[in-house]
Amino acid sequence: MIPSPYPLEHELQMRYYGDDHPGIGGKLRTVPEDFVVEEIPKPFTGSGPFLICTVTRRSWEHQHAIQEIAKRLGISRKRIGWAGTKDRNAVATHYISLYKVEAEQVRALSFKDMTVEPVGQHQFSLSLGDLEGNRFSLLIRNCNRENLTSLPQIAETVQTGIPNYFGLQRFGAQKPVTHRVGSAILRGEYREAVEIYIGDPFPNEDEEVKAARAAFRETGDAREALHALPVRLGFERAMLDHLSKHDSDHKGALKVLAPKLLTMFVSAWQSYLFNAAISDRFDRGLPLHEPEAGDTLVYLNGRTDRATEKNLPTARQHIRRGRAMIAAFMPGGRSIPNPGPMEEYMLRLSENAGIGPDAFREAAKYLESAFDGSIRSIVLRTEILTEIEDDSARLTFTLPPGHYATSVCREFMKSDPISLV
């Protein structure tokens, strides 16, 4: 365990590495083909009103891809479901469900750098987490040749377990602000949420975009910002279009965004709290595999238990043998019974920001989606095949739903998080 030196990772509460070997550095995603991800679906029912399709896309942002598919089919986005979001700077294959759409309609579609293929029928719409996992084949280029010798040792650490942080893309790969937008929504500060999303410039953006964002932040002039921001920033422009017609209706401006995108803002705040709780454990000198009284344990069969002073030796033994992992409940609208140290820390951090359970319940009404909170292991572990290709490293592995490949890569690279996106 060593601390990260990067301010952005500290801002997102990803403050430690689980591995302490020298990083290989390098750059992930020099080209999209360096990041290949394939979704592993759960079995489909074989019949029903939902057409299941594979989507293989190169350099398409997830929400924009869904929006374009809906537009070409002439249907509402609400009729499209998916089990997981995939990165833009990648070659990604995943599944979507289309409500009452014929296979022939899909086969007639044609996109640049994206194919959509019907594969079967299903009784239900796909929803987030409704998959077995994801397969990854990743190439990290321009590595430190000397440190490439650490690959097997780092892979061994990952197999044992590393911090199960929510990765950078959970907070917005190019502009990591989703947790701040979510915090503002939860506090009912809709103007602030809009100003953060539209008005915050980011280092890697074009100067004209930075200037347009800064001007909107200063003046609040939606019409001028709509004129200045390029067409490719479709979400910002949709919000600005609403504000130009409905002055000061920031609550309504947020609602023009896709419902699932809006819910991701609030979920990002929960993710931020979870990352902070893991880092707090390290602050207190507590390893990932060392339970303390009050910790939740998750067993391989899904059963949960609570560590107590009395059963700590047994809990340690189960964890050591790989039978169980330490987990934590992320706060939400549902109260957490008998919160342990990690839950108490998250609740305190959220309440200090002015966000309690009632805020999640109010957000649930506004966004028409439940934010009850959920349980998540604090440990990510997987077997990794590593190969050295000249000055590059190839990593091949599989992860369960909701786990981040970039959380694996950062342990190998230990470099500026921007190099992962």
Query: What is the rounded distance in angstroms from the CA atom of residue 62 to the CA atom of residue 386?
Result: 28
User: Vertex 258, ends 253 and 259: CA angle to 5°?
Assistant: 95
Q: Taking the CA atoms of 50, 52, 55 and 61 in sequence, report the sign of the dihedral they define.
A: positive
Burial code (b: 16+ CB inside 10 Å, e: under 16) for 334-352 equals eebeebbbbbebbbebbee
- Active-site residue identified among 19, 20, 34, 87: 87
C-alpha dist (Å) from residue 12 to 15, 268, 275, 283, 389: 8, 10, 7, 15, 32
C-alpha dist (Å) from residue 207 to 172, 199, 210, 215, 230: 19, 14, 5, 12, 12
Token digits of residue 107: 């086969």
Q: Give alpha helix (H) positions in 108-233.
A: 151-160, 178-186, 190-199, 207-219, 222-228
Query: What is the rounded distance in angstroms from the CA atom of residue 120 to the CA atom of residue 374?
Result: 31
Please say whether the beta carbons of 40 and 48 come within 8 A: no
Report CA 179 to chain centroid distance, whole Å.
Answer: 11
- Could you confirm whether 87 is annotated as catalytic? yes
- How many of the other CB atoms lie within 10 Å of CB of 129? 11
Nearest to 350 by CA among 182, 167, 171, 176: 182
How does strand 35-41 pair with strand 80-82? unpaired
Amino acid at 64: H
Q: Identify the DSSP state of 111.
A: B
User: Which active-site residues does the annotation give?
Assistant: 87
